[in-house]
Amino acid sequence: MSFNVTPGKVSLNDLSQIYWESKSVTLSPGAKKNVEKTASFVKDTASADTPMYGINTGFGKLSGIRVPAEQTDLIQRNLILSHCCGVGDPLPEKIVFLVMVLKILSLGRGASGVRTKVIEQIESLLEKGVTPIIPSQGSVGASGDLAPLAHLTAVLIGEGQAIYKGQILSGAKVLKRIKRKPLVLKAKEGLAMINGTQVSTALALAGLFDGWRCSLNSLITGALSTDASMGSTDPFHPEIQNLRGHQGQIEVAKTLQILMNDSKIRESHLVEDIRIQDPYCIRCQPQVNGACIDLLRQAAKTLTIEANAVTDNPLIINAMGNKDSQMRIISGGNFHAEPVAFAADQIALALSEIGAISQRRIALLVDPKLNFGLPPFLVSNAGVNSGFMVAEITSAALMSENKHIANPCSTDSTPTSADQEDHVSMATHAARRLLTMNENLSQIIGIELITAAQGIDLRKEI
């Protein structure tokens, strides 16, 4: 079933559905009219005497070279072929799917000067389940995700490779299979395809969506660990949270209270436990996990804006003004992915901290000095059986790895393209590492789940 989208108005919930359900999308008819209007303007500009970057000139440091009108199509094709320089493992299919959707949203705003044929070619790949093979490495998140987006575009023109029905096929073969002709790129279309933050943004959104699920799961395991350790629920009292006022903290405390409502272990704790305060990994869950949730929401706001943004260069402005307004082509820097890099760094910090506090709860439960009466390493015949000793060590290894790779990427810039691109965002690998971090985090939470469940089972024997 196809999902009709209006560029500039796609919500985070829409993007989440597209990601989880792999819904193909089509552009709204009204948006297509704006697209054709600017494409016609670019066509006229390409044959004019005035040099226009990327339309009748070279690219980047070569922008001073004028391209004859009869070669404007050739330079767009050559641009794509020369930029297919990505390396590394292919991006996951769900990520590539989202990249294509985001490209439609960006081009569909009608400020990029491409024909609707370009968008329709992408729509066809989505509809038929064709996944262009996009290497995961090669972008610094500056003048757009140049290399990865070039590999996507290559399939549109019958080059590159794609996965179709489980087979790896050449771009030419896959287009033939789905009964599409290779696209002949016109003025600016190749540049519009590879300029943009769609790969960085898709990776960051995937990291956000997976991370959000992990954050919610960690509340369940946190409640179980609190119960298994006979921890107090007093720190989750709503008035404590309200006196501070952070929304995430308030919601986490409320969720933990609901999850632990009517706990028999908690009732026995009220009678027997002489402890006044629990360790921070139990007591400060609202403060830590709540802050992480607030951070994820902040990143979500940035990424929703970016998903709806026009991020190529140059742009056609006044395309949607009144009928008397004059269109102009202006060079800018919307392709710089700094907002995405910051959002990815924020997500990474949240994922790292969710895992860190989860791991400390695992460590608490296996430690007889801290777990309030549970056997060492949560096994009755300790010594003969090592119990959860190494499960806790594995969680520590995963936690440590996430801490290391959570260091900010947005502060690391290296000049490229003969210093034309002298400050870059590093958004692409800032977002790509989130895939690894979420995998590690899900394993930590899984270990906490079985550890807490074991602790609760052992309470029956004490």
- Cβ atoms 297, 208 nearer than 8 A: no
End-to-end CA distance of the chain: 55
Can you list the pairs that 260-268 forms with residues at least 24 positions away whose Cβ atoms lie under 8 Å? 260/223, 260/226, 260/227, 260/233, 260/236, 263/227, 265/227, 265/228, 265/230, 265/456, 265/459, 266/227, 266/230, 266/233, 268/230
Q: What percentage of the chain carries pLDDT values higher than 90?
A: 71
Residue 246: pLDDT over 90: yes
Predicted pLDDT at 370: 86
Using a pLDDT cut of 70, give the percent of the chain over it.
93
Mean pLDDT of all residues in 221-249 = 95
In this structure, of 129-133, 350-354, 387-391, the range with the lowest mean pLDDT score is 387-391
What does the pLDDT read at residue 84? Answer: 96
3-state SS record for 343-410:
HHHHHHHHHHHHHHHHHHHHHHHHCCCCCCCCCHHHCCCECCECCCHHHHHHHHHHHHHHHHHCCCCC
pLDDT digits (tens, 9 = 90+) for 35-62: 998 998 888 887 766 777 767 776 666 6
Of 76-90, 199-213, 266-280, 345-359, the least confident: 266-280
Cα distances (Å, whole numbers) of residue 258 to 5, 229, 283, 349, 417 = 38, 18, 16, 27, 56
The model's pTM = 0.94
| 321 pLDDT more than 90 | no
Q: Which two tokens stand for residue 114?
A: 């491409």
pLDDT computed for residue 73 by the predictor: 84
Average pLDDT over the chain reads: 91
Q: Is the peptide bond before 135 cis (omega within 30 degrees of 0)?
A: no
Is 19 catalytic? The answer is no
Residue 162, amino acid: A
Q: Cα 333 from chain centroid?
A: 21
Distance CA 382, CA 386 (A): 6
Judged against a pLDDT cut of 60, whether residue 319 lies above it is answered with no
Alpha helix (H) residue ranges in 229-273:
238-244, 247-259, 264-272
The predicted structure's pLDDT at residue 324: 53
Rounded alpha-carbon distances, angstroms, from residue 151 to 81, 93, 139, 340, 455: 8, 14, 12, 21, 50
**Please, where are the H alpha helices in 8-163?**
12-21, 29-46, 72-83, 93-107, 116-128, 146-156
pLDDT given for residue 271 in this prediction: 60
315 has a pLDDT exceeding 80? yes
Residue whose entry in the numeric block shows the structure tokens 């949240």 = 350
pLDDT surpasses 60 at 215: yes
* Sign of the Cα pseudo-torsion (254, 258, 261, 263, in order): negative
Q: Which pLDDT band, with edges at 50, 70 and 90, does 92 fall under? A: very high
Segment 280-293, tens digit of pLDDT: 999 999 999 999 99
pLDDT at 34: 87
- For the cut 80, the answer to whether the pLDDT of residue 16 exceeds it is yes
Q: Which residues pair with 131 in a beta bridge?
A: 163
Residue 322 has pLDDT above 60, yes or no: no
